[in-house]
Amino acid sequence: MNVIVVGCGRVGAELAFRLFKGGHQVVVVDSNRDAFNRLHSDFRGRTLEGEGLAENVLERAGIKDAHGLAAVTNSDTLNAVVAHTARTVYNVPIVVARNYDPDLRVVIEAFGLQTVSSTYWGAQRVEELLTNPSQKAVYSAGNGEVEVYEMIIPSAWSEHTLNELLDPVKQCYPVALTRAGRSSLPEAGTRLKTDDVLYVSTTFDGIGALTARLSGKEA
């Protein structure tokens, strides 16, 4: 892929190097030449000093032939405009915009762009680890609004059905059940066994309710 990374802060520099290591052709754009010092010493992509909003800069970066663009500066507004321009003016197939300030997520979402909110997701993940340490998030969709969690069934729930466990919990859906190393797609009437590994898709509120249900249920 030919990828343009607009913004060479810590996120941009790390992203550019990861893409480069993955075998992609990478161009990094930043208005501050000194920002390129953050790039890994083994990075062999191109760097281009200039404003990410400038048409001539984007075209020199190869936006007409780009397969993807990531706008990851510290300015949410700049990221939104650059990403929107890449998608609507230059028809770049894959465009992602970074969101820094959670209060400004609506600015980027208004453009209908793929968004990664590191601040929002990071805060939620820390909260999960602090409040639900026994539950492990194995997949996160979007910015963590919906996640897939892995949990081990305690002995108190052995022989109870999956429906008994999940039915009272809103927005909580079974994904898979692993027993003795074999996985299956569980049904509502599936009877749980001690140490089964259950995977559920749910929200942050949903996993909190399910955790409380698992720990509070009497055999």
pTM of the model: 0.67
User: Among 75, 98, 118, where does a domain finish?
Assistant: 118
Band (pLDDT 50/70/90 cuts) for residue 115 is confident
Same domain, 97 and 204: no
pLDDT, tens only, 24-47: 999 999 999 999 999 999 999 999
Same domain, 92 and 154: no
CA distances from 117 to 99, 109, 143 (A): 4, 11, 6
User: Among 85, 118, 151, where does a domain finish?
Assistant: 118
User: For the chain, what is the domain count?
Assistant: 2
Same domain, 99 and 28: yes
Same domain, 35 and 55: yes
Same domain, 111 and 11: yes
Same domain, 84 and 185: no
Report the pLDDT averaged over residues 38-65: 96
Same domain, 101 and 209: no
One-letter amino acid for residue 147 of the chain: E
Q: Give pairs for 44-48: CB < 8 Å, separation 24+.
A: 44/20, 45/16, 45/19, 45/20, 47/8
Same domain, 111 and 131: no
Report the pLDDT averaged over residues 12-22: 96
Band (pLDDT 50/70/90 cuts) for residue 129 is low
Beta-sheet pairing, 94-99 with 68-71: parallel
Instruction: Provide the domain limits for residue 55.
Output: 2-118
pLDDT, tens only, 133-184: 556 778 888 777 888 998 889 999 999 999 999 999 988 999 999 998 889 9
User: Among 86, 118, 150, where does a domain finish?
Assistant: 118
For residues 108 and 84, what is the distance between their CA atoms, to the nearest angstrom?
A: 9
Same domain, 91 and 55: yes
Same domain, 92 and 28: yes
- For the cut 90, the answer to whether the pLDDT of residue 90 exceeds it is yes
- For the cut 50, the answer to whether the pLDDT of residue 217 exceeds it is no
Residue keyed to tokens 């089964």: 196
For residues 218 and 104, what is the distance between their CA atoms, to the nearest angstrom?
A: 45
Q: How many CB atoms lie within 10 A of CB 135?
A: 20
Q: Residue 131 belongs to a domain with what CATH number?
A: 3.30.70.1450
Residue keyed to tokens 């930043």: 30
